[in-house]
Structure 1
């Protein structure tokens, strides 16, 4: 069985699912997109919602 410290030390860098940028959040975080991509998606959703007729 692998020691827990070895497991966490060997984790790969976490990357954004949308743009591929390396994320600085902790590996156990549930985030899959960087803040820039989240802001862009939020802006697009806001504009889509408010331009619907």
Structure 2
């Protein structure tokens, strides 16, 4: 059986699902998008919501 430390040390870099940029979060994090892409998505959603009013 592989030790836990060896397993996590050998994981590939985690990449953003939206832009493909390498992420610095820990591998076990549930984030799939980098902070820049999350910020852009939040801003786009905000603008879309308030443009319908």
- Please confirm whether the aligned pair reaches a TM-score higher than 0.5, indicating the same fold: yes
Normalising by structure 1, what TM-score?
Answer: 0.93
Aligned residues: 53
Superposition TM-score, scaled by structure 2 size: 0.93
**Runs of 4+ residues deviating >3 angstroms:** none
Unaligned runs of 5+ in 2: none
Which structure: greater strand fraction?
A: 2
Question: Which structure 1 segments of 5+ residues have no match?
Answer: none
